[in-house]
Amino acid sequence: MEKTTKETILDTAEHLFAENGIAGVSLRKLISEAGVNLAAVHYHFGSKDGLVQAVFRRRLEQVNAQRMKSLGELRASFGTTRIPVKDLLQAFLTAPVLLSKSTGGKGRNFFRLIARAHAETNEVVNDELYASLKEVIQEFLGELSRSLPELTPEERAVRLSFVAGAMVQSVLLPLKPKFEKELMLKSLSEENVLDMLVAFCTGGMSYQAEIGSGGKK
Amino acid sequence: MEKTTKETILDTAEHLFAENGIAGVSLRKLISEAGVNLAAVHYHFGSKDGLVQAVFRRRLEQVNAQRMKSLGELRASFGTTRIPVKDLLQAFLTAPVLLSKSTGGKGRNFFRLIARAHAETNEVVNDELYASLKEVIQEFLGELSRSLPELTPEERAVRLSFVAGAMVQSVLLPLKPKFEKELMLKSLSEENVLDMLVAFCTGGMSYQAEIGSGGKK
DNA sequence: CTATCATTCAAACGTTTGTTTTAATTTTAT
DNA sequence: ATAAAATTAAAACAAACGTTTGAATGATAG
């Protein structure tokens, strides 16, 4: 059974968007790589925006459903006990980072795509990102308020955004060839990156400035 | 004394690039906002790429010179003693975050621009970023190897990239209106963001996973 | 004043962009 | 087998893009 034209377009778009960003991919480059006709894009998706939306929606739903599932398992496992920060972050970060594994290892396009979504200016992408992420943010922040009651709600929210930033950078930076060489990041597996990411974010989330040293150095 | 056409173009470009990304700003939008002639861009900068290069170079040099200066002061102050991680990160993060203050508070365009530089696909931008950042990365990683000898060089490099990611997100995320509302990030001053950023990154950099819990949970 | 240089201006150039159109083809259902 | 629907194909469209041109204007120096 062959891959349908629609799927071919989606997969090729995902690959090219992840590598070059949305603005960096024209429909003509896309169809040339995919081996389909130009009009097929508009037939199946209505417009380039429609294609963008479809590409991102497919993975974002998957990622955030997985995050909610992992959070549910943690809640069932810990009951009324505080869930450790590390476990929460693991649940938050594993889904996007290891997405390529769970989909049969079609490559690392998926994770890169999710990371792109966070760094994109495109309005369609940001709308999709927000819609799919809204519930996840609420639930994780709610759980973090139990695990880290010593922080203010504002501080928890900001730090969670730092977590997202670190995640994004972990996959976008290796796309920049010169930095990859400079920092020797090329030989990192996704599991390695995930472990380092969870460790870093756990430390960052849990960090408590020593009281009394609030003044000057 | 009036602002020259060249300066007007640079300032307007900086503002628009920071807000919309490079690909999202056409030269015609730019000159319309700046109130100059279209050909003036090519007269003064040769091409759009030339303009992009000029816009980023101006600030990147400033930021990284400031970083090196702060690092030098720390070295002079601590001598052969290990510089605390927090101080190193403060030196690394203060310059970009507080850039707008040091230039007379023309707005927060500058920091946003630096953050954009990290998230951009544009090749010219990445070349500029790399050229200006290469020495800084080497020096800070070298100093971090003394402050955090228990980490591998690879791990230090990856964590430093996480730091950059958190920094980028801290300024790019508030540009997304829906997330700003959801996370209640709008009323944060640059000093607040800097403090939270340094705290988070210090925790992340210094975090040491307890040995023996390396297996399953 | 005048010659020279730097700068600004309006207009047009050739490409590339996303999109639409109309016809040909393939698939599906009766 | 045939009618209907879904899909693919080739071509053209209008708009926007970065860029170039050549004349007009401004400032500067001899």
Q: Tell me if B206 sits within 8 A of A203, measured CB to CB.
A: yes
CB under 8 A, 24+ apart: contacts of A176-181: A176/B126, A176/B130, A178/B126, A178/B127, A178/B130, A179/B130, A179/B161
DSSP characters for B92-140?
Answer: HHHHHHTHHHHTT---SHHHHHHHHHHH---HHHHHHHHHHHHHHHHHH
pLDDT digits (tens), chain B, 217 positions: 568 999 999 999 999 999 999 999 999 999 999 999 999 999 999 999 999 999 999 999 999 999 999 999 999 999 999 999 999 999 999 999 988 777 665 667 889 999 999 989 899 999 999 999 999 999 999 999 999 999 999 999 999 999 999 999 988 887 788 887 877 776 788 888 999 999 999 999 999 865 444 333 3
Q: In Å, how far are A116, B3, B179 from A127, measured between CA atoms?
A: 14, 39, 10
User: CA end-to-end span of chain A, whole Å?
Assistant: 68
DSSP characters for B165-193?
Answer: HHHHHHHHGGGSHHHHHHHT-TT--HHHH
Q: Kind and range of the H or E element at A135?
A: helix A123-147
Three-state secondary structure string covering A15-41:
HHHHHHCCCCCCHHHHHHHHCCCHHHH
Q: In Å, how far are B4, B49, B101, B158 from B164, measured between CA atoms?
A: 34, 25, 20, 10
> Residue B207: which of A161, A188, A199 has the nearest Cβ?
A199
DSSP 3-state of B214: coil
Q: Centre a 10 Å sphere on the Cβ of residue A43 and count the other Cβ atoms it contains.
A: 12
Distance, Å, A3 CA → D2 C1' = 29
The answer to whether A66 CB sits below 7 Å from nucleic acid chain D is no
- Tens of pLDDT, residues A95-134: 999 887 776 666 678 899 999 999 898 999 999 999 999 9
Interchain contact, A158 vs B87, CB within 8 Å:
no
Chain A nearest-CA distance from B81, in A, is: 16
- What is the 8-class DSSP label of residue B8? H
Q: Tell me if A128 sits within 8 A of A56, measured CB to CB.
A: yes
Q: What is the pLDDT of residue B184?
A: 73
Q: What is d(CA A102, CA A123) in angstroms, rounded to the nearest whole number?
A: 28
Q: Which residue's CA shows the smallest distance to C1' of C21?
A: A39
Q: What is the pLDDT of residue B212?
A: 44
Query: Within window 1-40 on A, which residues have Cβ closer than 7 Å to strand D?
Result: 4-6, 36-40
Chain centroid, CA A171 distance in Å: 9
Q: Which residues contact A60 (CB under 8 A, 6 or more apart)?
A: A114, A117, A128, A129, A132, A133
- Tens of pLDDT, residues A7-40: 999 999 999 999 999 999 999 999 999 999 999 9
Q: What is the pLDDT of residue B1?
A: 53
Distance, Å, B10 CA → C2 C1' = 35
Interchain contact, A121 vs B24, CB within 8 Å:
yes
Q: What is d(CA B67, CA B140) in angstroms, rounded to the nearest whole number?
A: 9
The answer to whether B27 CB sits below 7 Å from nucleic acid chain C is no
Distance, Å, A86 CA → C13 C1' = 60
Interchain contact, A204 vs B203, CB within 8 Å:
yes
Confidence (pTM)? 0.92
Q: What is d(CA B52, CA B124) in angstroms, rounded to the nearest whole number?
A: 7
Q: What is d(CA B167, CA A162) in angstroms, rounded to the nearest whole number?
A: 7
Closest CA to A112 of A162, A167, A149, A161: A167
Lowest model confidence (mean pLDDT) among A78-92, A187-201, B109-123, B167-181: B167-181
Closest CA to B165 of A195, A155, A168: A168
Distance, Å, B14 CA → C12 C1' = 29
For tokens 């228990």, the residue is B150
Interchain contact, A159 vs B200, CB within 8 Å:
yes
- Tens of pLDDT, residues A207-217: 986 544 433 33
DSSP 3-state of B213: coil
- Tens of pLDDT, residues A145-166: 999 999 999 999 999 999 999 9
Q: Centre a 10 Å sphere on the Cβ of residue B131 and count the other Cβ atoms it contains.
A: 14
Q: How sure is the predictor about A185, in pLDDT bands with cuts at 50, 70 and 90?
A: confident
The answer to whether A47 CB sits below 7 Å from nucleic acid chain C is yes
> Residue A178: which of B130, B179, B183 has the nearest Cβ?
B130
Interchain contact, A154 vs B184, CB within 8 Å:
yes
Cα dihedral value A129, A134, A135, A141, nearest 10: 120
Q: What is d(CA A178, CA B131) in angstroms, rounded to the nearest whole number?
A: 10
Distance, Å, B61 CA → C6 C1' = 29
Q: Give the type of residue at A118.
A: H
The answer to whether B28 CB sits below 7 Å from nucleic acid chain C is no
Q: What is d(CA B40, CA B20) in angstroms, rounded to the nearest whole number?
A: 22
Closest CA to B58 of B17, B2, B119, B1: B17
Closest CA to B171 of A164, A22, A201: A164
Tokens encoding A23? 């603005």
Whole-number average pLDDT of chain A: 90
Which nucleotide's C1' is closest to A42 (Cα)?
C19
Which nucleotide's C1' is closest to B4 (Cα)?
C7
Nearest 5°: CA angle at B129, between B128 and B131? 65
